[in-house]
Amino acid sequence: MTDASQNAGPMLAADGTPLKQSLARSLRRQKLRALLLVAPLLLFVLFSFIVPIASMLFRSVENSIVQETLPLTVEALQSWDENSGELPDEAVYDAFVRDMVVAVDNKTHTRLGSRLNYEETGMSSMFRRSGRKMGKLDPETDGPFKAQVIEIHEGWGDPKTWAVIKTHSPAVTNGYFLNAVDMRRTPEGAQSQPEDKQILIKLFGRTLFMSLVITASCILLAYPVSYLLATLPMRVSNMLMILVLLPFWTSLLVRTSAWKVMLQQQGVINETLVWLGLVADDARLVIINNQIGTIIAMTHILLPFMILPMYSVMQTIPPSYTRAAKSMGATNWTTFWRIYFPQSIPGIGAGSILVFILAIGYYITPEIVGGTKGVFISNRIAYHISSSLNWGLAAALGTILLGVVLLLYWVYDKIVGIDNVKLG
Amino acid sequence: MKPTKTLLTAAAIATAAGGVSAEEMTIVSWGGAYSKSQLKAYHEPYSEKTGVTILNDDSSAEAVAKLRAMNEAGNITWDVVDVVASDAIRLCDEGLAMEIDFDTQLAAAPDGTPASEDFGDLLVSDCFIPQIVYSTTFGYRTDLVGDNPPSDICAIFDLENYPGKRSLEKRPINNMEWALLCDGVAKEDVYDVLATPEGQEQALKKLDTIKDNVVWWSAGADTPQLLADGEVVMGSTYNGRLFSVIEEQKQPVAMLWDAQVFDLDGWIIPAGLSEERKQRALDYIMFATDTQRLADQAKYISYGPARASSAPLVGQHADLGIDMAPHMPTDPENAKNTFLYNYEFWADYRDDIDAKFQAWLAQ
């Protein structure tokens, strides 16, 4: 037995190397070549998609600015009890002056001020105003500092200030996520925001609800259109297709602004209704700057994303099935509901996912026609990115939104099945 | 192999230079009529004098966020940026704008007054070179107010005499101040009251009385459009926008200057430019903010020059040929009752009050 296998030896390739090895080598070369071919795409996706998303996820918990700007203070504050209601001792003030002298030199103290101002109103000006005077102190000779620092700005004589610094000192924080769900980080642990500042949960709910309504109205409107497109003679359906695609090629802003002209109280729709006598002049319809405006405009803008997948699925449904059903005595309704509709579901699924995911992140249209009741969570994200510069909170909101979309996707997969989606 | 290598080297050099050749600079502003006024008053004469090509980027609305992103990426592509004062303070706080020595880096007035005195109180930040004084104020439809045109800011809260919709900006700044003024708070106490939770509640309560009749705007062009279409009977916006509705488009609209809120707009130079680009930016700033240039800008748009020495030089509109002085927010006739935007207050309270304001809006 041993002899036999030794005699047979490993199978050799023409050049004398074992066949297994030579096969593996050539396979590896092939794989490498394939990898090289997809490398541009992979790298592109990596750098333009995965890295930014990862860095956004990271931003929502990143908080090293406090430790980096005030390293000695943060350390000295460890031994101070923030719930005691008393001011920290001289050691903390001494460390604080040392940190501030360096920070003022690097001009990072005001940056920290804006960061802490998200948590406690007034911190921004406290750091800005104190900066100049504290930068001039000499940590070695000018001490003790407690009284001097409080003299520079009375805010440093408030235990709450130090509690805020200590509470927000960890380099990794859950503070932004707490803020994103209308809560906040306090020395006593997580607490809900005061009632008059709670808005984000409401906006999340509204975003989901309105996206669902928009998806549903897209289905209702797109289904008959796609059916016509798929069943009419080619020449007519091509014309119809152009009508579907024309708005699709028009700028989003132009379409949204056009809706403004249509929907406003002195707009085309209201003027027509008043002229026809259907609506009294002093009781014109309010169909813009509210939820209705957002739903109408977004349904119109997202409609092609529903029509196109539906149409391409419906095109593949053989007409002979419905003819067969009818020949066996089914009514029109039964034929549609039992034969045609089930076959068109993959198109509805694909369109719904597309429309819903696009809708949930929409920003421009709700901003222009949404007024106050028709805006989405994305409008808040945009505000925190470009106006308040609270990127941590914006990242936390974005992360939650991403999580919600993934969750819904999973639910959809469980209920409808993701295999049951076709784009054609 | 060789040509490829040369190409690559050329590409590398171009990248290293940030894609900016020696004769170009990128200036960021707001776009529209405002950028046009800068093009005529500053850019064209400067290019003529120095041969530098000026590229325009209309990104001022997102300037703070973009500068922060550029700073993090370590690649600053802008040379001079036009921002409002509150944004300049923010940029200065974040270390994203360069500090300016006003007396050595800006031109003195023709009579020798140093720049720091010529600009005076308008130098609200170490990084900010003011250019214009603009105001946020109201315009109203003359045909919709009957025989009783409004002359008092509180007309916006008076639904009885002035029924119809009004447009207000979708943010707390200015609206909260007006609400308190019209709720009996004295002008000098407004910010003290607004600093307390009770005062904030009082302002929102006052706004509550007209909430159903407000169209909220977020772009400066909204109110002019709403006024022109007759959607609103009165609305707030920047005074230059109203000037163009009234004088250029001849719409039946008039100004309500009462309690106009003064604000500043001007230049910053991003921090972290290379020495060469920094010198060019400073050279441009020195030229573009001198007395004559600031007065020239008022020929194209109705914003008041930020230098005291420029005011007497303000002339007529370049195309319409009308005197610009009576259209300036700083004209004594218009500035009888004014309000100065409190930058420090809003830098502190913006996050807090904005959250409350947005929650109130969503109710």
Which CATH number fits the domain that encloses residue B225? 3.40.190.10
Examine the domain organization and report whether B210 and B346 are in the same domain. yes
Q: Give domain status of residue A22, yes or no.
A: no
Examine the domain organization and report whether A224 and A141 are in the same domain. no
Examine the domain organization and report whether B180 and B284 are in the same domain. no
- Interface touch B93/A197, C-beta < 8 Å: no
Examine the domain organization and report whether A225 and A165 are in the same domain. no
Examine the domain organization and report whether B178 and B204 are in the same domain. yes
Buried/exposed code over A146-160 (b: 16+ C-beta within 10 A; e: otherwise)? bebbeebbebbebbe
| Residues of chain A above pLDDT 90, percent | 74
A-facing residues of B in 43-62 (CB < 8 A) are: 61-62
Examine the domain organization and report whether B268 and B254 are in the same domain. no
Q: Which residues of chain A have pLDDT under 70?
A: 1-9, 423-424
Q: Give domain status of residue B7, yes or no.
A: no
- B208 reaches A (C-beta below 8 A): no
Q: Give domain status of residue B5, yes or no.
A: no
Q: For A39-86, how does the pLDDT look when each residue is reduced to its tens digit (9 = 90+)? A: 999 999 999 999 989 998 999 999 999 999 999 999 999 999 988 889
A-facing residues of B in 78-107 (CB < 8 A) are: 90, 92-95
Which residue's entry shows tokens 């940029």?
B91
Examine the domain organization and report whether A230 and A331 are in the same domain. yes
- Residue from the list B61, B93, B360 with its beta carbon closest to the beta carbon of A113: B93
Q: Give domain status of residue B12, yes or no.
A: no
Smallest CA–CA distance, residue B293 to chain A, in Å, is 30
Q: Give domain status of residue B125, yes or no.
A: yes
Examine the domain organization and report whether A168 and A267 are in the same domain. no
Q: What is the CATH number of the domain that holds A414?
A: 1.10.3720.10
Q: Give domain status of residue B17, yes or no.
A: no
Examine the domain organization and report whether B75 and B151 are in the same domain. no
Examine the domain organization and report whether B32 and B96 are in the same domain. yes
Examine the domain organization and report whether B84 and B164 are in the same domain. no
Examine the domain organization and report whether B75 and B216 are in the same domain. no
Examine the domain organization and report whether A206 and A161 are in the same domain. no
Examine the domain organization and report whether A247 and A107 are in the same domain. no
Question: How many structural domains compose chain B?
Answer: 2
- Interface touch A388/B358, C-beta < 8 Å: no
Examine the domain organization and report whether A215 and A161 are in the same domain. no
Residue B16 is predicted with a pLDDT of 44
Q: Give domain status of residue B218, yes or no.
A: yes
Q: For A78-132, how does the pLDDT look when each residue is reduced to its tens digit (9 = 90+)? A: 999 988 889 999 999 999 999 999 999 888 999 999 999 999 999 999 999 999 8
Examine the domain organization and report whether A213 and A326 are in the same domain. yes
Examine the domain organization and report whether A157 and A206 are in the same domain. no
Residue A423 is predicted with a pLDDT of 67
- Interface touch A372/B349, C-beta < 8 Å: no
Examine the domain organization and report whether A266 and A129 are in the same domain. no
Residue A8 is predicted with a pLDDT of 61
Residue A376 is predicted with a pLDDT of 94
Dist. CA A273–CA A281, nearest whole Å: 9
Residue B341 is predicted with a pLDDT of 87
Asked whether the beta carbons of B107 and B70 are under 8 A apart, the reply is no
Q: Give domain status of residue A210, yes or no.
A: yes
Examine the domain organization and report whether B70 and B104 are in the same domain. yes
Q: For B28-78, how does the pLDDT look when each residue is reduced to its tens digit (9 = 90+)? A: 999 888 999 999 999 999 999 999 999 999 999 999 999 999 998 899 999
Instruction: Give contacts of A197 with chain B, Cβ < 8 Å.
Output: 352, 355-356, 359
Examine the domain organization and report whether B212 and B351 are in the same domain. yes
Q: Give domain status of residue A116, yes or no.
A: yes
Examine the domain organization and report whether A138 and A251 are in the same domain. no
- Residue from the list A107, A122, A289 with its beta carbon closest to the beta carbon of B348: A122
Residue B3 is predicted with a pLDDT of 44
Examine the domain organization and report whether A224 and A311 are in the same domain. yes
- For residue B111, the enclosing domain spans 23-133+264-327
Mutate to test the interface with B, among A265, A286, A384, A385 (most CBs of B within 10 A): A265
Q: How crowded is the C-beta side of A263, counted as CA atoms within 13 Å?
A: 22
Residue A164 is predicted with a pLDDT of 94
- Interface touch A389/B348, C-beta < 8 Å: no
Residue B93 is predicted with a pLDDT of 86
Residue A2 is predicted with a pLDDT of 47
Question: How many structural domains compose chain A?
Answer: 2
- For residue A110, the enclosing domain spans 65-172
Q: Which residues of chain B have pLDDT under 70?
A: 1-22
